[in-house]
Structure 1
């Protein structure tokens, strides 16, 4: 689930602490997490610019901020890009997890929304010619840019990605019901184009392992990607409203198999979990450094156990990561707040870009 809040600027410092995946002898400027307050981060990089999308940012229902440096996102102003048409619309309330995607020269924002009743959460998409908009409810053939899939069930956290077969897919958090009854699972469907789903919805995974059922049986926030010819989906598991329940899992597709074959996906995890005073890490998204020499994991976490509901205390963080030879993410453990980390490679040079 998504909750976003405006936040404070990134802290810079001048002392150094060795970090796995980053040169231990680094003597340049550093930063410290958290970057700013918020949850469920989403970042896409297009033509050297990082675009971060969010809801509930204080200036519009859906907003973006952009920068030529990863660290610069913490200082970039929010730009309001869309507000719902009216309070009675089915997509007017509880706007969660907006993801900004650039596909075939057009810009799309995929999100979940309802009419004020969580049982009515469904998937929607906006479209624009430019990242800053103006955005309109996309012409999906249904009112308000509703993104229909075959089950017509409850759904949140839509993500689109290209699998190793070169085709576009939609993945999201789903149930077996028209309402929000548990468990929440990971679903997948083929897309004919960025605005239309084709074929049947397939449930890929159900939360059954102990770390996926902390608080409630939930899998949400899926993000698909392809690397080294392999297709993966990361996801978050556990109850978002309990501080220490959230963790990250991974689904890996057997090479050569159809993404629509649920039996060809293999679960592992947690691949990222609580550590020390960092609780409930989740909603990971992987982005390259400005010069392309490194990969960074951007995620949310919580520093307190007394926050109820937990998601109102989330903040956004980033740290270096890498992929193994098969393209699977190696994330390590979340670093504690205040720990000095070298800026992403090439980030200092871009620090004043926007």
Structure 2
């Protein structure tokens, strides 16, 4: 789920050498950031100016003050994709722009996957011609589905991963599903359930795996995901699925689960929805995520905020995230990110 976003400018003076900033950057949840042509693009729903919005900046810290640009609104109130628009991801694939998102008709049991397309990141976006109404991204199960992400696996194929159930409605558990794509608008084959929440850190409140993000590094394929109940402040955590090198991503037994790789620490509660982006000069990697500072918010996802901190990958390409940093702690700006300026 995605909360409303509020802008702040967190760059501050500090005894730390060089320019710094403090977390949180701004209010919100389910961050998505991609860098194309030296520009960072951030996408979200419920931003106050449209159903789906973006902002962009040439610096990571500049995203905190960059203005929202509305890029899409639903066509009618009774459309199947008009309500509960969650976790939109902006992707640049083969020269075109796509936004993958989940939505329903006002009934959470009807959540399904959809895609928009445009020639420019600022839009205007339109419901893509997927062969299904309103740009629905059809996959073979037809089951409840949220949090779509597309990525290129180690075999160079385009994959779609998302949070799924084994039912037409939202009954638990929520799992991680995957299917391969024929192109950015069409699924090529059968849906496969890769993972089910079984560990204690995945079943806090409810058995949930959601918000998957796939990536490839050093010839290996990984999927990060968030686990446990999003509406309970101290439940959320981050897990990792790792594909055996050379194996098909469609083979569930070829994936191994580890975690939590990112969890509550100090007064930072419910960290999740991690996405990894390079610094402007490419010398560092940063983890952009959401977290909560208080335990008395109900539902907890309404109190999320967006944060970022340095991270690195180990020799195999797996993420090493450390612990979430406390709010208010001075952090050096990303390498090459010397000023918080919007694009």
Decide: shared fold, TM above 0.5.
yes
Aligned partners of 1:281 and 1:302 also within 8 Å? yes
Aligned partners of 2:147 and 2:210 also within 8 Å? yes
Q: Report the Cα distance in structure 2 between the residues aligned to 1:11 and 1:164, rounded to whole angstroms.
A: 37
Q: Deviations over 1:261-291 (max 9, x none)?
A: 0000000000000000000000000000000
Instruction: Give the 5 Å matches for 1:254-293.
Output: 254-293=244-283
Equivalence for 1:6: 5
Equivalence for 1:334: 324
Return the match for 1:297 from 287, 292, 311: 287
Q: Report the Cα distance in structure 2 between the residues aligned to 1:344 and 1:16, rounded to whole angstroms.
A: 17
Equivalence for 1:352: 341
The verdict on how the C-alpha distance between 1:36 and 1:353 changes in structure 2, with shifts beyond 3 A counting, is closer
SS of residue paired to 1:199? coil
SS of residue paired to 2:198? coil
What's the offset of the Cα at 1:8? Answer: 2.7
SS of residue paired to 1:40? coil
What's the offset of the Cα at 1:158? Answer: 0.1
Aligned partners of 1:53 and 1:98 also within 8 Å? yes
Aligned partners of 1:14 and 1:28 also within 8 Å? no
Equivalence for 1:105: 95
Aligned partners of 1:34 and 1:316 also within 8 Å? yes
Instruction: Name stretches of at least 5 consecutive residues in structure 1 with no aligned partner.
Output: 18-26
Instruction: Give the 5 Å matches for 1:53-92.
Output: 53-92=43-82
Q: Report the Cα distance in structure 2 between the residues aligned to 1:161 and 1:130, rounded to whole angstroms.
A: 20
Aligned partners of 1:10 and 1:34 also within 8 Å? no
RMSD: 0.7
Instruction: Give the 5 Å matches for 1:237-256.
Output: 237-256=227-246
Q: Report the Cα distance in structure 2 between the residues aligned to 1:262 and 1:130, rounded to whole angstroms.
A: 36
What's the offset of the Cα at 1:120? Answer: 0.1
> Number of residue pairs matched?
343
Equivalence for 2:200: 210
Q: Report the Cα distance in structure 2 between the residues aligned to 1:249 and 1:165, rounded to whole angstroms.
A: 23
Q: Report the Cα distance in structure 1 between the residues aligned to 2:123 and 2:242, rounded to whole angstroms.
A: 35
Equivalence for 1:127: 117
Q: Report the Cα distance in structure 2 between the residues aligned to 1:191 and 1:16, rounded to whole angstroms.
A: 50
Aligned partners of 2:90 and 2:99 also within 8 Å? yes
The verdict on how the C-alpha distance between 1:16 and 1:283 changes in structure 2, with shifts beyond 3 A counting, is farther
What's the offset of the Cα at 1:9? Answer: 1.5
Q: Deviations over 1:117-162 (max 9, x none)?
A: 0000000000000000010000000000000000000000000000
Q: Report the Cα distance in structure 2 between the residues aligned to 1:136 and 1:13, rounded to whole angstroms.
A: 40
Equivalence for 1:155: 145
Q: Report the Cα distance in structure 1 between the residues aligned to 2:3 and 2:33, rounded to whole angstroms.
A: 14
Q: Deviations over 1:248-272 (max 9, x none)?
A: 0000000000000000000000000
Q: Deviations over 1:74-97 (max 9, x none)?
A: 000000000000000000000000
Q: Report the Cα distance in structure 2 between the residues aligned to 1:248 and 1:149, rounded to whole angstroms.
A: 26
Equivalence for 1:179: 169
Aligned partners of 2:224 and 2:239 also within 8 Å? yes
Equivalence for 1:15: 14
Is the aligned partner of 1:322 residue 2:327?
Answer: no
Q: Report the Cα distance in structure 1 between the residues aligned to 2:2 and 2:156, rounded to whole angstroms.
A: 32
What's the offset of the Cα at 1:61? Answer: 0.2
The normalised TM-score by structure 1 is 0.96
Q: Report the Cα distance in structure 1 between the residues aligned to 2:26 and 2:54, rounded to whole angstroms.
A: 14
Is the aligned partner of 1:114 residue 2:104?
Answer: yes
Return the match for 2:301 from 308, 311, 316: 311
Q: Report the Cα distance in structure 2 between the residues aligned to 1:259 and 1:6, rounded to whole angstroms.
A: 35
The normalised TM-score by structure 2 is 0.99
What's the offset of the Cα at 1:353? Answer: 4.7
Q: Deviations over 1:314-338 (max 9, x none)?
A: 0000000000000000000000000
